[in-house]
Structure 1
Amino acid sequence: MDPGEGSRLTPTPPTMPARHNRSNVCTQCKRQKQKCDRQSPCANCVRRDIPHLCHVAAARESYSSRWRHANPADAADAAAAGATVLAAATPSTTRSASTAAAQAPNAVPPSTSRSRVRPIGSAQDSPMLGQLWNSRGAASYHGTSYFGHQSAAIMMQVESPDLPVGMSGIHAGNARRGPQHQAHRSEKGPYSHIWELVGYLPRRRTIVDHLLRRFMDELNPIYDSVHEETFMNNYEAFWNRRWGDDDLTSVDLRWLSLLFVVLAFAELLDCPQDASPDTQRDREETSVHYFWASRKAIVIAPTFSGESPDLVRAGILVSRYLLYVGRKSESWLTSSFAIRMAQAQGMHVDGQSWNLPPKVLETRRRLWCTLHALDRSISLAIGRPYTINDRHCMRMNIRNVWIDDKSADDVARAEEHERPLSDPTPSIFYHYVQNLATTMGEIHDECFGLTPLTTSYGTYEKVLGLDRVLFDWAEALPPYFQLENPDTTLDAARPYLFWQRMYLHSAYHFSRITLHRTYVLLESITDRFQYSRDACMSSACADLKLKLSMRSQGMADRLKSAIAMHNLFNSALVLGIIAVRDPFSPRAPAILDDLAAYCEKQRADRWVNEFALAEIKVIELCIASAKKSRRDGGSAGASRPPSRGAEASNQGQIQEQQQRQPQQPGIWASGATDAFAGNEGMPNAESLDSWLWFGPSSFPEPMDFQVWEDLVGTLEPR
């Protein structure tokens, strides 16, 4: 067949019937099957608080144009363009991703270079950061390894298809299971969850208004967990919705989860300090009722809608609520869920790379720093792996500016002129929290990983090196955050400084005690672990002093102090064990007096929970054991047990003591006392009971009273 004959056999494009002109209905109204007023933005998108997503769908190619793309030349051009975009989206082994991204715009033909997929932000200077895409009405982050429907839409030069919304997307393959074939009030349908959650709210709006105002006035300035302006806009839209209009377009479960956890805190705030036990119990039950409603909404919301900052805020508040009631293990789970929600929105990447608006940028930075600190501290406290991998995250560029309550013009001026450290804003706190959380991660990796702990020189040098990092962090604190004699002259004008100072101090003492507690009970012939004992004693005393200084707390102050890291551990337990181990030291009487005062203060607290009472019971056991040892030692006179220095005066005496007390594990174990052993790991680790309780994963809960009773009996001098 000659070329001329082939050209004559080329079929002509088939004719299609003419269609009516395309209506200018926005994509959101079209997806929700609502009547659009054809404004920009339309009323429906404004009511749903998504004006940035209101746009008219791009014009589709005509049938004839699509058919002409079957021409071999046009198909080759389209394939080349698609291959270029694919190379830019997928890491290549032969060239860097930055080179592929730089060549992609030049390789796409002019007729096909315009993509109808509009990412929210793009990082042209740093292509390895990924992009934010519009997905189900929210920002969705995907890294450079992603190749799904968004990337495929770019390659094919078409508009990205929306993901199925709600439970109907699970059985989208069967049209009979779609929502159009279900009754509107079907109890088996997805909307039944919305009706149930809305039913948890009080029927009178004035009750919710009162609780919400208490939270905003008393807790939110310190918690920094809710952006009041946007929250109240959603709040007004929720209460002003049409009666009975409880579907996905009028009720945002993401925001509703945040409202419920705010009400859980506010219900506790609203309880009078002198309330009767029955009133107090009713308030606590109502608060827990709102708390569980929030957790249910958090779990259900991602099924119906995309990720949202409201879900992140709700997850942070839920984790703090669990810390307040003493459930650290549950808070580890809820904080991990909040972190996943934040990572899905790209909060782990500094939004400056995407040129985000200033208010959005600063808010995302603060939320991520809060999650980072929660993740590191809770994981370190309970001995479980943390969620955030620093290798996949960026360091947030925290600046000393506060623009949440400023207008657009004021925001521009504040962006240009960052305040000095002598003029602090609430944001500067997150700079130091971020640095300390990074050090906590290093402590977790170096000292409490899967590698067996040792008493070798190299291992202990790592501990001392991390202690120097903590010391340098404390030295870099500004005067109003200093550990010793801080400057409090700014507290009257900036009340948040008092609480931020307490949060930083408790975090520092928590980190230092956790770092050194492993070596508190270990003995050495050269006394090389004395520094750890002194450091642990110093931080534990400072933390106990902070707890004893907080007297006559109202509920607002109680909830503010509940999110401090000193609630992740109890310094009184550490001091109690030290007093039991060495009851004849010169500092033992003072330690016992302070511990007794602390127990008395806690028992007099009407709001103390069962976890705190369990800690008190263990501390009182330590006090009784130490006092008994002091009485027995005083009555024995010359037979009083020698001090640690006398016991460790020479190796022969230590070995003799081991032979006399073969049944006692702990500091008299051979490997723990030999400073020159040079062993690879802790020998006889199964028998080091008094050492293992300070280890990474064996710290017993105060509720395990039998374990503590056996431990205290083991440590008593004989």
Structure 2
Amino acid sequence: MSPKGAKRTRFPPDARSTARKRGRKITSCSECHSRKQKCNREMPCSRCIQRGVPNLCQWPGDEKSPQVRPQERGSTTVVFEADSQVTEIGQIYFARGAPSFFGNSYFGHQVAARMIHESAPDLPGMSLLSTKNSLQSFRNDSGPFSQVWDLLGLLPRNKMTVDRLIERFLSDINWAIDAVHPETFRSQFAEFWGRKFGFDEIASVDLRWLALLFIILAFSVLLDGPETPSPEKAKENEEASLRFYWASRRAIVISPSFHGESLDLVRAGLMVTRYLLHTRQVAESWLTVSFAMRMAQAQGMHIDGEKWGLSKKATEIRRRLWGNLYMLDKAIALALGRPYAISDHMCVIHAPENVWLDDMSDEQSSLAPSKPLTSPTRSTVTLLGNGLAKISGEIQDRCFGLYPASYDMVTEMDKKLLEWKSQLPPYFALDDSDISFDEIHTFLPWHRLYLHSAFHFARITLHRPYLLRESISNSFRLSHEACTSSASSDLKVRLRSLNYRIAENMRWTLGTHNMFNSALILGIIAVRRPKAPQTAAIIHDLQVYCEILRTDASLNAFGLAEVKVVELCIDRAKGFTKATDQHANDSNVDSINIMPNMASQCNNSGNGMNDVMSMDDLPSNALEASPNHPPGYSPDLIWPAIWEDQNFAFPQAADLETWEQMISEITYHD
């Protein structure tokens, strides 16, 4: 039986027989014929209606076979091709809410039309209705909409469950990292959940927004668990979160084939990158932030909104989104020693203004003035962070490029970092921050932590190649003190953050906090100088840090790897101290002094690379064993050349074998 209201047309015998004059007489439509089923010879026939594919019902060889254009549920309208209007393919693209960067010449809308109608991309004037044979149902496994159907199947069936997860994210995380506009996202979800079921409704699902929904659910599942979950519950939440995370990644990859780019797609890519930072997968985050950046560039976000003639509100939204991508791109590239995706000389965009316009109308926002830095807004962190990110990019270009950099260049970049630090407003100051605004603006403590961790990360990375270098003139003292100071300050913040609840811990780990581990730097310093006055305090803090992490039920494999590396450093430093103390008692030697006999062999030609001893500078008897050296002493005066290589990236904590080798070969100094 056909649905109520369905309109069917029976064709005269002569209209069906004009195409074939000889051979067997055709008595079935193409769909019924392929399935060897009896057809009632109507258009659409009852069999195609029952199968839910009335649009595929056609008469083989009929020169004037009608087409079905679905309209309302339960009814169809028959339209002959001679009566159809020619429609530009680009209209599909524009109708889906994704403005084209290069106007009609951009091929994104043609790709969308090809995926839906399988029309040639080089025929922009082709009639959409002339491609009737290529329409496929979402129930067809080989069709593009089967991908949408599979993704929708991953969502919880209960709307109340999804509502609860969304609200948990919006109330606990969203306001700290500027992920989405709450009211807009809620209205988009209500529209999505209220859609009707059917081919038209599946085709209208925006995968770009669906990718954003999935990654928000990935965070929310982790937030929704108990404060102290059992190991089984923690594992269950992690697996559920990973399912949503991979669903988001899948939607991001396939959505450009259905639609053009959109701000939702960029936001989804940004949130996926933050998810990887939260789980300490920094290497993979380099790929996701690059993809998100390409999606932003495809929409012209590297050109300031004022040049596009956009409203002030739209311009500021694009500036902030681009600024967040810019900061992560520079920081992740610097952490991994890989090229960044954004070239400053290819961009014409301004930093965000110190004003928050998201809750205003276009007319109100056009009249809203920017505030001075003395009055914080949610845009301030992006405004200031962009300045730091630009310095980070310059550090990578000038100090970690293809050509070796002099130490003078390092000191010059350090001055730029300190200058940026000195210009911070009091409520963001690294030393003795003014917290009087914190009760009014609840986002300030978290934005302060984001900026502080980003500063410490950039400064440690700049000076890290010189951490283990020694010179007679103490030329690298700046690098030693900078690494110790920034790593100690960052570890203090880590120790405080480990006592937070789930939501607070997640807010903290979404910044540059997890791009490097200050505990590893302090562990290396302790191994390098186990008898230094501050080493005992460093080892104590590192032990407390490891103990707290060991009791964290939500600690993943990457976090556990960091704990093991830090514990290696602690054991080696404590072992050396014990060995030297025992040796001193036996031979009345107070301490080890490995420098005097070899100092005269150094080429003391000033600061920089020439101040570093090489193996060729050692005397011939330097490698011989000495009864005054403790067990495990290495005769090398410097860290192996790989550490001093400016292109050497900090190894991942999961590479335990490399860390064991590095730690075992660090030379001891007083």
Which TM-score tier does this pair reach, normalised by the shorter chain?
0.7 to 0.9
User: 1:246 & 1:35 partners in 2: Cα distance?
Assistant: 8
Map of 1:330-349 to 2, 5 A cutoff? 330-349=284-303
Instruction: Provide the residue aligned with 1:712 in structure 2.
Output: 663
1:651 aligned residue (601, 606, 610):
601
Q: 1:712 to 1:370 in 2, by over 3 A?
A: same
1:265-310 deviation line (CA, Å, top 9, x unaligned): 1111100112222222111111111111111000111000110000
Instruction: Provide the residue aligned with 2:105 in structure 1.
Output: 150
User: 2:320 & 2:540 partners in 1: Cα distance?
Assistant: 41
Matched, 1:239 2:193: yes
User: 2:624 & 2:113 partners in 1: Cα distance?
Assistant: 68
1:418-475 deviation line (CA, Å, top 9, x unaligned): 2222221101111111101100101111111222x36xxxx11110000000000000
Report SS of the residue matched to 2:375: coil
Amino acid at match of 1:252: D
Instruction: Provide the residue aligned with 2:467 in structure 1.
Output: 520
Instruction: Provide the residue aligned with 1:429 in structure 2.
Output: 381
Instruction: Provide the residue aligned with 2:452 in structure 1.
Output: 505
Report SS of the residue matched to 2:319: helix
User: 1:179 & 1:424 partners in 2: Cα distance?
Assistant: 59
User: 1:358 & 1:478 partners in 2: Cα distance?
Assistant: 25
CA contact 1:253–1:297 (8 Å) conserved in 2:
yes
Amino acid at match of 2:257: T
CA contact 1:658–1:668 (8 Å) conserved in 2:
no
Amino acid at match of 2:155: L
1:556-606 deviation line (CA, Å, top 9, x unaligned): 111101112121011111111111111111111111111111111211222
User: 1:344 & 1:161 partners in 2: Cα distance?
Assistant: 13
2:240 aligned residue (270, 279, 286):
286
Matched, 1:266 2:220: yes
Map of 1:152-191 to 2, 5 A cutoff? 164-168=112-116, 172=120, 180=134, 182-183=136-137, 185-191=139-145
Matched, 1:215 2:149: no
Instruction: Provide the residue aligned with 2:99 in structure 1.
Output: 139
Matched, 1:688 2:657: no
User: 1:391 & 1:603 partners in 2: Cα distance?
Assistant: 46
Matched, 1:559 2:503: no
User: 2:573 & 2:305 partners in 1: Cα distance?
Assistant: 55
Amino acid at match of 1:225: A
What residue ranges of structure 1 are gaps of 5+ in the alignment? 1-31, 37-56, 61-116, 119-132, 143-147, 153-159, 673-686
What residue ranges of structure 2 are gaps of 5+ in the alignment? 1-67, 73-84, 604-612, 626-632
Instruction: Provide the residue aligned with 1:449 in structure 2.
Output: 401
Q: 1:639 to 1:549 in 2, by over 3 A?
A: same
Q: TM-score, normalised by structure 1?
A: 0.73
Amino acid at match of 1:626: A
CA contact 2:209–2:265 (8 Å) conserved in 1:
yes
User: 2:163 & 2:542 partners in 1: Cα distance?
Assistant: 43
- Percent of pairs with identical residues: 42
User: 1:658 & 1:432 partners in 2: Cα distance?
Assistant: 54
1:177 deviates by 8.3
Matched, 1:319 2:279: no
1:229 deviates by 2.5
1:656 deviates by 5.4
Instruction: Provide the residue aligned with 2:623 in structure 1.
Output: 661
1:373-400 deviation line (CA, Å, top 9, x unaligned): 1101111111111111111112424211
Matched, 1:194 2:148: yes
CA contact 2:115–2:144 (8 Å) conserved in 1:
yes
CA contact 2:355–2:377 (8 Å) conserved in 1:
yes
User: 1:151 & 1:599 partners in 2: Cα distance?
Assistant: 53
Report SS of the residue matched to 1:138: coil
Report SS of the residue matched to 2:547: helix
1:532-553 deviation line (CA, Å, top 9, x unaligned): 1111111111111111122422
Amino acid at match of 1:219: I
1:407 deviates by 3.4
Instruction: Provide the residue aligned with 2:27 in structure 1.
Output: none
1:527 deviates by 1.2
Report SS of the residue matched to 2:141: coil
Amino acid at match of 1:263: L
Aligned residues: 560
Higher mean displacement: 193-202 or 632-641 = 632-641
Instruction: Provide the residue aligned with 2:10 in structure 1.
Output: none
Report SS of the residue matched to 2:113: coil
Report SS of the residue matched to 2:239: helix
User: 1:291 & 1:59 partners in 2: Cα distance?
Assistant: 38
1:29-88 deviation line (CA, Å, top 9, x unaligned): xxx96769xxxxxxxxxxxxxxxxxxxx9999xxxxxxxxxxxxxxxxxxxxxxxxxxxx
User: 1:602 & 1:221 partners in 2: Cα distance?
Assistant: 27
User: 1:192 & 1:562 partners in 2: Cα distance?
Assistant: 36
CA contact 1:506–1:565 (8 Å) conserved in 2:
yes
1:699 deviates by 2.4
Amino acid at match of 2:338: R
Amino acid at match of 2:233: T
Amino acid at match of 1:276: S
Q: 1:662 to 1:379 in 2, by over 3 A?
A: farther
Q: 1:294 to 1:640 in 2, by over 3 A?
A: same
User: 1:501 & 1:164 partners in 2: Cα distance?
Assistant: 43
CA contact 1:256–1:294 (8 Å) conserved in 2:
yes
Matched, 1:582 2:537: no
Instruction: Provide the residue aligned with 2:592 in structure 1.
Output: 642
Q: 1:179 to 1:702 in 2, by over 3 A?
A: farther
Q: 1:652 to 1:524 in 2, by over 3 A?
A: closer
User: 1:164 & 1:650 partners in 2: Cα distance?
Assistant: 73
CA contact 1:580–1:715 (8 Å) conserved in 2:
yes
User: 2:659 & 2:537 partners in 1: Cα distance?
Assistant: 22
Report SS of the residue matched to 2:99: strand
CA contact 1:359–1:404 (8 Å) conserved in 2:
yes
Instruction: Provide the residue aligned with 1:474 in structure 2.
Output: 421
Q: 1:221 to 1:648 in 2, by over 3 A?
A: farther
Amino acid at match of 1:141: F
User: 1:250 & 1:472 partners in 2: Cα distance?
Assistant: 51
Report SS of the residue matched to 2:100: strand
Q: 1:502 to 1:225 in 2, by over 3 A?
A: same
Q: 1:659 to 1:376 in 2, by over 3 A?
A: farther
Amino acid at match of 1:519: Y
Amino acid at match of 2:245: F
Report SS of the residue matched to 1:499: helix
CA contact 2:313–2:366 (8 Å) conserved in 1:
no
Report SS of the residue matched to 1:289: helix
Map of 1:292-311 to 2, 5 A cutoff? 292-311=246-265
User: 1:604 & 1:479 partners in 2: Cα distance?
Assistant: 36
Q: 1:294 to 1:648 in 2, by over 3 A?
A: same
Q: 1:254 to 1:59 in 2, by over 3 A?
A: closer
1:405 deviates by 1.1
User: 1:172 & 1:656 partners in 2: Cα distance?
Assistant: 72
CA contact 1:248–1:304 (8 Å) conserved in 2:
no
1:658-688 deviation line (CA, Å, top 9, x unaligned): 742379989636xx9xxxxxxxxxxxxxx52
Q: 1:270 to 1:149 in 2, by over 3 A?
A: closer
CA contact 2:562–2:653 (8 Å) conserved in 1:
yes
User: 1:161 & 1:566 partners in 2: Cα distance?
Assistant: 40
CA contact 1:379–1:385 (8 Å) conserved in 2:
yes
2:518 aligned residue (560, 564, 571):
571
Q: 1:312 to 1:645 in 2, by over 3 A?
A: same
Higher mean displacement: 655-664 or 464-473 = 655-664
CA contact 1:350–1:397 (8 Å) conserved in 2:
no
1:16-41 deviation line (CA, Å, top 9, x unaligned): xxxxxxxxxxxxxxxx96769xxxxx
